[in-house]
Each structure stands twice: as structure tokens, then as C-alpha cells.
Amino acid sequence: MKFVDEAYIDIAAGDGGNGCVSFRHEKYKEFGGPNGGDGGRGGHVFAVADPNLNTLVDFRYARRYEAKRGEHGMGSDMFGAAGSDITLKMPVGTILSDAETGEVLFELLTPGEVITIAKGGDGGFGNMRFKSAINRAPRQKTPGWPGEKRNLKLELKVLADVGLLGMPNAGKSTFIAAVSNARPKIADYPFTTLHPNLGVVRVAPEQSFVVADIPGLIEGASEGAGLGHQFLRHLQRTRLLLHVVDLAPFDDAVDPVAQAKAIVGELKKYDSALFKKPRWLVLNKLDMVPLDERAARVADFVKRFKWKGPVFQISALTREGCEPLIHAIYAHVKAVQVAEQAPAPEHDPRFPDASPA
């Protein structure tokens, strides 16, 4: 299935039905009084987060969605029926924003979550609503209220715990295939990955985390070079970034340090918040480096790259070094999850200026 992470749609909730003017006419009841009912409400438009979807491609081909209007009120105190609601299924991680202003309106972050994205209009009042002691035969009614209409931009940001970052052919797809259930396309040419891939990594029967692999970046991606950097949006919700570096490029003229610095530069240009996320360095393709040269090559890279964070040495092809990396990632993700769920420290009203230690 083609991966689509952006779409525009127009939605319209149903208008409310009009109220009715009617009077009771029965034999021997000359003054039956008003009995015009209210109109029915218009149908709502809902969105539900469906965990079985991973693309917005359906909304590329059908862009207009309208709920049914409510029925008009009728005589004999009969109210109009409500219009039928419609529910749009969207992938988990979809952001719904106003297409004109860019304001974020809704986010679908939990599987099965249901939100109302357009409310149907209320039905109008029939003349039975207006009867009173001084107005025994009202002929007033009100029209139904219009339903909400919106022009929406849908944007999908995949939900993953860990994101892979690196140049084309750094071995990201090989890594995610080696440690997870994902089966991305792997080949010996650049830009093999054309859309994000998600994989679930099982550390133990009840211990797992999700990894996202995005197309590789090159220098100048912010200006549109390569596939651009629009896929970086899928890393914004991750808890950890793995910067995968090819330590043994086929071309001797290619400097891995220069490539790594280019990636960091593109990351900083795209989003400063993403740049500040925890990031680990993963030096890949150790199987291509002679055993007696590995330590020196790794030390030289770290020194020239001026890296002070965690460093992991792996071969995604042979899985060498992958197991310790997986356990370290799980421990980090679990610690972040616990910190996110911890309640905020309570403020003691006796000490208004005191801050928690």
C-alpha cells in the first residue's frame, strides 16, 4: 500500500430540520391547539483512531464527507428524526488542523479514541413550543440550525518509541529487520526506503518497544535535496533517536564524520526540539572493518565527531552488538515512560514560595 502521510478533506455536519406549524384537527375538538413538532438534529461527523490503518491514502481519493440533515418536524406532536452520523477511520497518530489557519484542532493518539470533528445543527422549534396563556394559536416556528463545516488538513505522525536517523545506505533498514518484525526493502543502492517503516522489538514476552525507520537524509535535505526532510515529522513523538553511521563506506573518499555532521545540521534546521531529543550514536557495519582496526577507527570517529554521548558498535548484518543495544534501549524507554506517568509533586500551600526539591 502506498504510504501517504498528508491529506486535505472537507467535512460538513448535517443541518437541523425545520420546525413545523400544525394544529390539531379532530371531530368534536374545534380548538385542538398547536401540535407542530421540532425538527431533528443534523448528523455529526466523528473520527476514530483505528490501529489497523497506517496511511491516509483513502482520504486522497475521497475528499468530501457530508452527514445527513435532520428531518423536519411534523404534526401530531411528531419530532423529526435525527440525521445519520458518519465516522471516519484514521490511523493512530493523525493530527487534524484547520487547512487555512494551520491551527491544530484534534489529535488521535490512543487506539479506539473517538472525537467529534463536526457537530450537527440543532433542529428548529415547532409551533407547539410557542403556545402560552396569551398565545393560544401560535404560528411561529424556527428553521433548523446549520451544521458545522470544516476544511481540514490531516497529517500523520507515526507513534514510535525509537527513531532511526542516518544517511542513505547507513544500514537502518537492515537493523530494523534484524531486531524487529518489520521487513523493509533492503538493497545496495541509496534511498531504498521510500516511506517510514514501523517494527516491534520483543525484548521479552511482555517487554517490547516500537522502532521507526525513515528514508535517509543527505546534506541539503532542508532545501529539497534527496527525498527532503519531511519524513522527520515521524520522529517528533519518539523518546529516543539512534543516529546510525556507516563506519565502512564503499567509497574511500567518503568521510563518515562529515556525513554524520551533515545529518545533525539538517536535524537542527528542521526542528530545534527534535534536535534536543536524547540521541545515541550507533556505528554500524563493523563486519566490514578488520578486527584489529575496529578500536582505532571507532576512537578516531568519536574524537573527530566530538561526541560525548552513548556509543554503540554493531553489525546489523551479523547482529553483532545488537543484543546489548536492544536491552539498553528498552531500559531507557521504560524509564522515560515511568517518568511521564509519575504524578507531579504536590504544592504545599503553607509555603507558597517553596519549590519542590
Give the annotated binding-site residues for Mg(2+).
Answer: 173, 193
Q: How far apart are CA 357 and CA 344, in angstroms?
A: 12
Detail the DSSP E strand segments found in the chain.
6-12, 45-50, 64-66, 86-91, 94-98, 104-107, 114-118, 149-156, 162-166, 197-204, 207-213, 240-246, 279-284, 311-313
Q: CB of 76 within 8 A of CB of 21? A: no
Residue 344 burial class via C-beta count within 10 angstroms: exposed 0-12, middle 13-18, buried 19 and up:
exposed
Contact 262, 216 (CB under 8 A): no
Bridge partners, 95 (sequence order): 107, 155
The alpha carbon of 169 is separated from its chain's Cα centroid by a whole number of angstroms, namely 27
Which residues line the annotated binding site for GTP? 166-173, 191-195, 213-216, 284-287, 315-317
CA distances 170 to 123, 154, 315, Å, are 60, 31, 11
**Residue list for the binding site:** 166-173, 191-195, 213-216, 284-287, 315-317
